[in-house]
Each structure stands twice: as structure tokens, then as C-alpha cells.
Amino acid sequence: MKWFYELVYGRFRAPWDIGPRKELVELVESGRIKPCKAIDLGSGTASNVVFLAQRGFDVTGVDFAAAAVELGRKRAAEAGVRADFIRDDLTDLRHVSGTFDLLVDYGTLDDLSPPKRDQYLRSVLPLTHPKSQFVLYCFEWKPRWWERPFFHSFACEPGEIERRFGPHFDIECHSRSVDYSQWPAGQAVYLMTRKGESK
Ligand SMILES: C[S@@+](CC[C@H](N)C(=O)[O-])C[C@H]1O[C@@H](n2cnc3c(N)ncnc32)[C@H](O)[C@@H]1O
């Protein structure tokens, strides 16, 4: 899929280039998430990176598409904010180090195949510390029979996030909606907190 993202960011305006996501904005504006060291996993159009930087977060965007990193740097410069952008593969991180107080993922995990989702979690867990917060957006609904063959390349099944992340995070489902007259039929937003004692 990397070629797809290179093409979209290099040549078009991505359909998900719609500004910072409502739920993230609400969590920050309500004070549930406070300015801290943050990383956006699959930063794409950098809307969420720019929003967080404008709100005083020390923020890094990571994406495996060179065109996304270039677009992110351009968007941050246009907005007059400081943010770091790193080109790296979230299923095999080599260039990102340290831990972060906040992780954000809008639409990256759900884009991966199940084995790649396992690798993503193994790669991303070391970026957390006890009490790190993680805002995870994913397409999520119970697939219909005709969606089954290719379902896991664009959405998660209900319960999958709890199964994958539950051993490591306390999970709160911030919002979830499913409407089978639409496609994609559903989206869930999770606010997760890394288990363990803070130092
Ligand atoms: C649906 S887009 C969302 C982008 C961004 N979060 C936004 O809201 O604009 C998914 C993003 O994840 C990136 N991505 C997908 N797989 C990746 C991987 N294995 N490592 C790093 N980035 C990845 C893509 O390049 C793309 O920018």
C-alpha cells in the first residue's frame, strides 16, 4: 500500500485531509489530554500533528511514505509550528526512539494485515511508558459475508482492539458508530492508557 499513499500525497488531495479529528480536539480541549510529548503514528496529511503542535505539544509525525513526510513538513511550516517528521515503517521501526506520553493513530493500524498488526504492536509498545495515553481510531464493524475475504486490510472486527491491546492498556471506548447503509460501515475511537506503575 505504500505506493498508493505515495501517489495520493504526491498527486492528489487525500479524502481524509479534513483537518484535526473531532474526538482528538475534544479530548485536548476538555483537558483530558494535556500538552506533552506526542507521536502521530502514520501522520499522513499532518492535520493532527499541526493541531497538537498549535496546542503546545512537542510532537513527532511518523509515516513510511516520503510524500507524507514532505507534506507534513510543508503543512507545519505553513502553520508556523515546530514538529518533527520521521520516515519509518511502524511495523519495523528503526529511526524512532524514546518514549512518548501520547500516541495517536488515525487510520493506520486498521490498514494493516493481521500479521502486520502484530508487528505494529511489537514495534510501538516500546514507545510507551506506564500511563502513556493512546488515541486510536479504527474502522470497525462486524463484516458481512461478502466483505470477509478482504476485510482485514481496511477494518478491525469488534473485540479485536481489546484482544490486541488489552494485555498492555486499560481501554476506554470513546465513541463507536456503525451504519450498514454506509461504507465504511463503522468507526470506533479508543482512549487507552498504558498499564503499569508510573516512575
Ligand atoms: C488512512 S491514512 C491516515 C493518515 C493520517 N493519520 C491522517 O489523518 O491524515 C494512513 C497513513 O498511515 C501510513 N502508513 C500505513 N502503513 C504504514 C506503516 N507500516 N508505517 C508507517 N506509516 C504507515 C500511510 O502512509 C498513511 O499516511
Ligand 1 contact via 9 beta carbon (within 6 Å): no
Ligand 1 contact via 139 beta carbon (within 6 Å): no
Q: What is the DSSP letter of 62?
A: E
DSSP for 76-144, please give it: HHHHT---EEEE--TTS-SS--S--SEEEEESSGGGS-HHHHHHHHHHHGGG--TT-EEEEEEEB-PPP
Q: Which helix (H) or strand (E) holds 189?
A: strand 186-194
Q: What is the DSSP letter of 184?
A: S
How many alpha carbons fall within 13 Å on the CB side of residue 60? 18
Per-domain residue ranges of the chain: 2-194
Which fold, 2-194? Rossmann fold (3.40.50)
Q: What is the DSSP letter of 150?
A: G
Grid coordinates representing 99?
A: 518514549
Give me the residues paired with residue 40 across strands.
Answer: 61, 104
Position in ligand 1 atom list of the atom nearest CA 116? 19
Count, residues in the chain: 199
Confidence check: pLDDT of 199 > 60: no
Bridging pattern class, strands 133-139 and 102-106: parallel
Give me the residues paired with residue 193 across strands.
Answer: 133, 170
Residue 98: its pLDDT value, please?
A: 97
Percent residues over pLDDT 70 in the chain? 98
Q: 123 C-alpha vs ligand 1 centroid, how far in Å? A: 15
Q: What is the average pLDDT score of the chain?
A: 96
Residue with CA nearest ligand 1 atom 10 = 108
Average pLDDT on 3-25 reads: 95
Ligand 1 contact via 72 beta carbon (within 6 Å): no
pLDDT band at 198 (very low <50, low <70, confident <90, very high): low
190: number of Cβ within 10 Å: 22
Query: Is this structure's pTM higher than 0.95?
Result: yes
Q: Is 114 left (phi over 0), alpha (psi -120 to 50) or beta?
A: alpha
CB 78 within 8 A of CB 67: no
Q: 157 C-alpha vs ligand 1 centroid, how far in Å? A: 19
pLDDT band at 171 (very low <50, low <70, confident <90, very high): very high
